[in-house]
With several copies, the nearest count.
Chain A
Amino acid sequence: MPVYSQTVMDHFMNPRNVGEIENADGVGEEGNPVCGDMMTFYIKVKDDRLEDVKFKTFGCGAAIAVSSMVSEMAKGKTLDEVMEITPQTVADKLEGLPKNKFHCSNLGAQALHKAIEDYRKKQKKGGK
């Protein structure tokens, strides 16, 4: 399948960190079934770091690989570091994505950012 790089194929066939986190500290969702890709990220935060990241993804090979790669890149990083992950850095780590797939499948970073925003919002509400 040379439309996808070997790294994409590896993350598609063996996605890391698939699943949900019960009582997650933050949840972020991005995309919708109309465009064909939708991802939900769950995070567990400890000492301003992502102690755990999990995701669920409905979508094409690229979308699944992106989610997996994002989760791997993010795990153990500080929240600020994670906010610096962009679609481009993800695509680079994946050794490229097909041009036409770049935008719709590459929503992983956004979904994760949303999860962090969700976490921060909850923190504020919690009054800490």
Chain B
Amino acid sequence: MTRVYLDNAATTPLLPEVREAMLPYLGEIFGNPSSLHDWGDGAREALDEARARVAGLIGGSPEEIIFTSCGTESNNFAVKGLAMAQPARGKHVVVSAIEHFSVLHSARTLEKWGFQVSEVPVDKYGLVDPAAVKKAIRPDTVLVSVMHANGEIGTIEPVKEIARITRELKIPFHTDAVATAGTIPVDVKELGVDALSLAGSQFYGPKGSGALWVKKGVRIMTLLDGGIQEGGRRGGTENVPAIVGLGKAAELAAARMDARIKQLTPLRDRLIRELPASIDHVIVTGHPRDRLPGNASFCVEFIEGESLLMLLNSRGIAVSSGSACTSRALKASHVLLALGLSHAIAQGSVLFTLGLETAAADIDYVLENMPPIVDRLRQMSPLYAKFTKSGKGGK
């Protein structure tokens, strides 16, 4: 059977070069980087090299990189650690309504600790308005966190413009770049942020790898208290193989970024253009222009996303959905609802995320297989029956 993986936002495969780079560290170079004897040397050198590569990917300095275990840890560290580092200044943080749960739920935890949280809404394309961020900021605001891009709808946020505001007001600004670092150009200096999260499993690096970049001089509280690793900012024996893999993935991403973007963008554009042309009542979600190169996200009216996902899977196509039934919380995606979509429409969400292995034939295959599947589900759908009987025309 044809197998088409279009769920690269869930996780990317590991590049063979990355795996090769990791293998020695699952073998003979097993030492602890903190060890002062020869066995620690190879591991320590590997950490240094990886740190330089990750810093290079985002235009930071190596000593500003703190390795973590995933994007979620980076985000928890940033949101809690930055907010808690300025007790004298206040207890108010600003986030956008479409942040990843690792940011939103960290903010909720801050609320339990006496903080107040302002959620800035987005427009129908998922864009945060910098002016709205400015309005949300108060004298006691200690942190602004707005993501660089949303992985679910692909929208790229005006981080640079927001940073101009926070810089002027001297408020630490964190951006969750898990969906962008390694995928599109990310430069901490150009963005003007104070902290930035990234994760290897989003750009062909290993699971279990992540980093938080914190600008020199910005105060942050530790999340994982312990030993002297990572300059005392993140304890725990370093996951050397994963860190090495993250470094290698960062190096490759930097070198091949333009080519990757050139490969993905036309495929994405074709899907965004042709899918709604071949199926009625399909809504493109996210921004028409400012979007991730591999992201094509839709809502298919009158049907539910999980059943669509399952039928696509039965044809060998892997996708995601933000429908309630695909989330264990059984709530429709907060991102789609924040765009102003109704629950019924949000239920029909389907997300294609293209990757290095995606070819034109894969898009053909999707365009060929999806219409009959949607048709089949609609024939089963009482909502579709009601709609057709009501005699309302197409969109």
A18–B379 touching, CB < 8 Å: yes
B278 within 8 A of A: no
B222 within 8 A of A: no
Closest residue to A41 on the B side, CB-wise?
B382
A57–B381 touching, CB < 8 Å: yes
B9 within 8 A of A: no
Contact of B307 (CB < 8 Å), options: A2, A56, A59: A59
Residues of A15-37 contacting chain B, CB below 8 A: 15, 18, 20, 29, 33-37
Task: Please give, as numbers and ranges, the residues of chain A lying within 8 Å of B304 by CB-CB distance.
Answer: 36-37, 58-60, 63
A58–B303 touching, CB < 8 Å: yes
Contact of A33 (CB < 8 Å), options: B45, B330, B344: B344
A1–B37 touching, CB < 8 Å: yes
| Most chain A beta-carbon contacts within 10 A, residue among B45, B302, B325, B384 | B325
A40 within 8 A of B: yes
Known contacts A58-B302, A64-B307, A100-B328; decide if A38 and B382 are in contact (CB<8 Å): yes
A105 within 8 A of B: yes
Closest residue to A64 on the B side, CB-wise?
B307
Residues of A98-118 contacting chain B, CB below 8 A: 100-101, 104-105
A60–B306 touching, CB < 8 Å: yes
Known contacts A12-B310, A37-B304; decide if A1 and B41 are in contact (CB<8 Å): yes
A56–B332 touching, CB < 8 Å: no
B36–A56 touching, CB < 8 Å: no
A101–B325 touching, CB < 8 Å: yes
Q: What's the dominant secondary structure at chain A's contact region? A: mixed
CB distance from B125 to the nearest CB of A (A): 23
A100–B330 touching, CB < 8 Å: yes
Known contacts A35-B330, A37-B325, A38-B383; decide if A61 and B343 are in contact (CB<8 Å): no
Known contacts A34-B343, A59-B304; decide if A2 and B45 are in contact (CB<8 Å): yes
A35 to B313, CA, bound (A): 23
Q: Give 1 or 0 for each of B302-321: 1 = CB within 8 Å of chain A CB.
A: 11101100100110000000
A15 to B325, CA, bound (A): 19
Task: Please give, as numbers and ranges, the residues of chain A lying within 8 Å of B37 by CB-CB distance.
Answer: 1
A33–B325 touching, CB < 8 Å: no
A18–B380 touching, CB < 8 Å: yes
B12 within 8 A of A: no
Task: Please give, as numbers and ranges, the residues of chain B lying within 8 Å of A39 by CB-CB distance.
Answer: 382
Task: Please give, as numbers and ranges, the residues of chain B lying within 8 Å of A104 by CB-CB distance.
Answer: 325, 330
Closest residue to A36 on the B side, CB-wise?
B324
A49 to B289, CA, bound (A): 59
B310–A58 touching, CB < 8 Å: no
Task: Please give, as numbers and ranges, the residues of chain A lying within 8 Å of B314 by CB-CB distance.
Answer: 13
A57 to B382, CA, bound (A): 6
Task: Please give, as numbers and ranges, the residues of chain A lying within 8 Å of B383 by CB-CB distance.
Answer: 33, 38, 58
B38 within 8 A of A: yes
B323 within 8 A of A: yes
Task: Please give, as numbers and ranges, the residues of chain A lying within 8 Å of B342 by CB-CB distance.
Answer: 33
Task: Please give, as numbers and ranges, the residues of chain B lying within 8 Å of A58 by CB-CB distance.
Answer: 302-304, 347, 380-384
Residues of B36-69 contacting chain A, CB below 8 A: 36-38, 41, 44-45
Closest residue to A65 on the B side, CB-wise?
B307
B380–A3 touching, CB < 8 Å: no
| Most chain B beta-carbon contacts within 10 A, residue among A29, A40, A60 | A60
CB distance from B281 to the nearest CB of A (A): 14
Task: Please give, as numbers and ranges, the residues of chain B lying within 8 Å of A36 by CB-CB distance.
Answer: 304, 306, 323-325, 330, 332, 347
A13 to B307, CA, bound (A): 10
B385 within 8 A of A: yes
Residues of B284-310 contacting chain A, CB below 8 A: 302-304, 306-307, 310
Give 23 A-B contacts (CB < 8 Å), ordered by A residue: A1-B37, A1-B41, A3-B36, A20-B385, A33-B342, A34-B332, A35-B324, A36-B323, A36-B324, A36-B347, A37-B304, A40-B385, A57-B381, A58-B347, A58-B382, A58-B383, A60-B325, A60-B326, A62-B325, A64-B307, A64-B380, A104-B330, A105-B325
Known: A61-B306, A100-B328; 4 extra A-B contacts, CB below 8 A, are A12-B310, A34-B344, A36-B323, A62-B325
Using CB atoms and an 8 Å cutoff, list the residues of chain A in contact with chain B.
Answer: 1-3, 12-13, 15, 18, 20, 29, 33-40, 56-64, 100-101, 104-105
